[in-house]
Amino acid sequence: MPLLLHDTLTRTPRPLTPLDGKTLRFYCCGPTVYGPAHIGNFRTFVAQDVFRRVLEFGGQPTLHVRNLTDVDDKTIRDSQKAGQSLTDFTRYWTEKFHADCTALNLLPPHVEPSAVAHIVHQVRMIETLIERGHAYATADGSVYFKVTSFADYGRLSHLEDRELKLGASEATRATDSDEYTKDSLADFALWKARKPEDGPNFWPSPWGEGRPGWHLECSAMALEYLGEDFDVHSGGIDLIFPHHENEIAQSCCATHGKFAHHWFHVTHLMVDGGKMSKSLGNLYTLEDLQKRGYSAAEVRYVLISGHYKAPLNFTFHSLDAARQALQKLAKFEKALREASGETALFEAAQLIAHGSAGPLQEAWDTLSDDLNVPGALGAIFGAINRTKPASLSKEEARSTLLSLHFMLGALGLVLPSVPEDSTADIPAEIADLAERRWQAKQSKDWPLADTLRKELDAAGWIIKDTKEGYQVLKK
Ligand code: AMP
Ligand code: ZN
């Protein structure tokens, strides 16, 4: 059964089958590499990772392209503030981004093109748009896309609902800001003439020195790596307008294709009920949370635990709940191993061949219905509550173990180690302290690990590190 996925354009769930009959090709707008990505950004990247995993675990090969925005207003501004070249500055933040992606168990995209490496492709696209009457150059050497020249402008973001209808007589203003406000119709910049504040960051073009506008890079790189028509395009909901609207306009006017055939948007992560923003001081990075003793696996669990179409409210309570949930999964996994006598790690191909089968079939079916992760997790915990590993036959335990790993693989969840004496009566707050101390150790936060060990000691417990993890013992 193909994955059913909501499509922003048609506002309906639609089954996903590859246009070329073989590989499902999709493009994700990547990070702007001018600072650390926050966990809101990662909500979108993690949802896209689950999307890819569900396709691949369902036997569907994929081609995943995710770009790096390494030239725009923000990267230029902040590289200069930092006194670094744009290349050095964006390389540093790209490496940081990759390290976070690895920690969060994100599969690397098959292609990760950067905007700076595709200036020529962008210039070529602008030339085509001018030739076809969809773009115009201005006296200062900038080039703008003429939004009234594209009749379908506004279909994705449903402009008609915002009473921003396009008409031939309607005057649109031109803007060269990369990110303009939600309710303005604007001819947007394809090429920005060089300004003094750009410093050394400019490239030659038929219209003079300058740099591409932000929206263009995704159109040019999607065309290069996925062609004129491809299966899915994705990003956070803030990108629907103007970014994705502009991408559609540029691509459809510069080629004979329809661009993306399906649009997958992830709703925002909120913090304590409000928007996450730098000015409110409620913006968290993965590193911030690791410093507080939480693991990347716990962060990933929180980020996937809400449906991607609904806003998700991040709280520290949700991280604590994620810890408990992962521990419960890990204990079940351990009990299944003991009941089956199985010690091997499983290959992805072996898991895919086995599938979700048995008690976890419902979880997989739920996941395949518009990536309903909370529903799938609920089905997994339902099965855990109903299943007593010790009363299963060896074969049943092994089959359930394989199905569990199939689901964990599709969700990209990595289980924590289970304290060896997990059956002993360890109070929840002691188990929690011990796990936080373990995570602090994993993230090399030695002072925190030490403090937590002392707290355990004061409460009458000692912690012993073992090859597989740790053991909590009564003094
Ligand atoms: P940026 O680095 O700003 O270009 O954003 C990278 C990705 O993160 C884009 O797909 C954004 O739509 C997405 N994004 C930004 N803020 C949030 C948020 N609070 N929750 C979920 N996704 C977000
Ligand atoms: Zn984009």
Q: Convert 235-252 to b/e letters by CB count within 10 Å (16 or more is b).
A: bbbbbbbbbbbbbbbbbb
Q: Which atom of ligand 1 is nearest to the CA of 41?
A: 8
Q: Would you say residue 9 has pLDDT above 70?
A: yes
List the residue whose alpha carbon is closest to atom 7 of ligand 1. 41
Q: Give phi and psi for 114, each to the nearest 5.
A: -110, 150
3-state secondary structure at position 32: strand
Percent of the chain scoring above 90 in pLDDT: 80
User: What is the structure's pLDDT at 170?
Assistant: 47
User: What is the structure's pLDDT at 164?
Assistant: 61
Q: Would you say residue 413 has pLDDT above 50?
A: yes
Mean local confidence (pLDDT), 322-336: 96
Fold held by 4-266: Rossmann fold (3.40.50)
Q: How far is CA 72 from CA 95, 147, 192, 240, 245, in A?
A: 18, 21, 10, 18, 18
Span 230-261, pLDDT tens digits? 999 999 999 999 999 999 999 999 999 999 99
Q: Would you say residue 467 has pLDDT above 70?
A: no
Please spell the DSSP secondary structure of 121-153, one letter per residue: HHHHHHHHHHHTTSEEE-TTS-EEE-GGG-TTT
Please tell me if the CB atom of residue 41 comes closer than 6 angstroms to any atom of ligand 1: yes
Mutation to probe ligand 1, out of 39, 41, 240, 278 (largest number of atoms < 8 A from CB):
41
Average pLDDT of the chain to the nearest whole number: 92
Q: How far is CA 300 from CA 348, 382, 403, in A?
A: 20, 21, 21
Q: Are strands 312-314 and 269-271 parallel, antiparallel or unpaired?
A: parallel
Per-residue pLDDT band for 468 (boundaries 50, 70, 90) equals low
Q: How many CB atoms lie within 10 A of CB 422?
A: 16
Please tell me if the CB atom of residue 399 comes closer than 6 angstroms to any atom of ligand 1: no
Of residues 466 and 471, more confidence is placed in 471
List the residue whose alpha carbon is closest to atom 19 of ligand 1. 40
Q: Which of 380, 352, 354 is nearest to 366 (CA)?
A: 380
User: What is the structure's pLDDT at 176?
Assistant: 74
- Residue with the two structure tokens 């003079």: 208
Which burial class, exposed, middle or buried, applies to 181 when counting CB atoms under 10 A from its CB (0-12, 13-18, 19+)?
Answer: exposed
Q: How far apart are CA 406 and CA 412, in angstroms?
A: 10
Please tell me if the CB atom of residue 307 comes closer than 6 angstroms to any atom of ligand 1: no
User: What is the structure's pLDDT at 182?
Assistant: 45
- Ligand 2 centre distance from Cα of residue 187 (Å): 17
Q: Would you say residue 431 has pLDDT above 60?
A: yes
Q: Would you say residue 318 has pLDDT above 60?
A: yes
Mean local confidence (pLDDT), 318-339: 96
Q: Which of 73, 288, 310, 93 is nearest to 201 (CA)?
A: 73
Mean local confidence (pLDDT), 17-41: 97
Mean local confidence (pLDDT), 212-219: 96
Which burial class, exposed, middle or buried, applies to 412 when counting CB atoms under 10 A from its CB (0-12, 13-18, 19+)?
Answer: buried
User: What is the structure's pLDDT at 273?
Assistant: 75
User: What is the structure's pLDDT at 159?
Assistant: 81
Mean local confidence (pLDDT), 36-44: 95
Span 146-179, pLDDT tens digits? 999 999 999 999 887 666 655 544 446 677 776 6
Per-residue pLDDT band for 419 (boundaries 50, 70, 90) equals confident
Mutation to probe ligand 1, out of 32, 43, 44, 276 (largest number of atoms < 8 A from CB):
44
Q: Where are the alpha helices (DSSP H) in 169-232?
A: 214-226
User: What is the structure's pLDDT at 400?
Assistant: 97
Least confident among 55-59, 339-343, 426-430? 426-430
Q: How many CB atoms lie within 10 A of CB 343?
A: 6
User: What is the structure's pLDDT at 430?
Assistant: 87
Q: How far apart are CA 218 and CA 26, in angstroms?
A: 12
Q: How far is CA 368 from CA 27, 139, 313, 374, in A?
A: 20, 53, 24, 12
Query: Tokens in use for 183?
Result: 């309710």
Query: Tokens in use for 112?
Result: 């990760």
Domain boundaries defined on the chain: 4-266, 271-418, 421-474
Which burial class, exposed, middle or buried, applies to 405 when counting CB atoms under 10 A from its CB (0-12, 13-18, 19+)?
Answer: buried
Q: Which of 436, 434, 419, 415 is nearest to 320 (CA)?
A: 436
- For the chain, the straight-line distance linking the first and the last C-alpha, in angstroms and rounded, comes to 55
List the residue whose alpha carbon is closest to atom 6 of ligand 1. 31
User: What is the structure's pLDDT at 443?
Assistant: 81
**CATH number given to 271-418:** 1.10.730
Span 87-118, pLDDT tens digits? 999 999 999 999 999 999 999 999 999 999 99
List the residue whose alpha carbon is closest to atom 5 of ligand 1. 31
Please spell the DSSP secondary structure of 281-312, one letter per residue: T----HHHHHHTT--HHHHHHHHHSS-TTS-E
Q: How far apart are CA 102 and CA 261, in angstroms?
A: 30
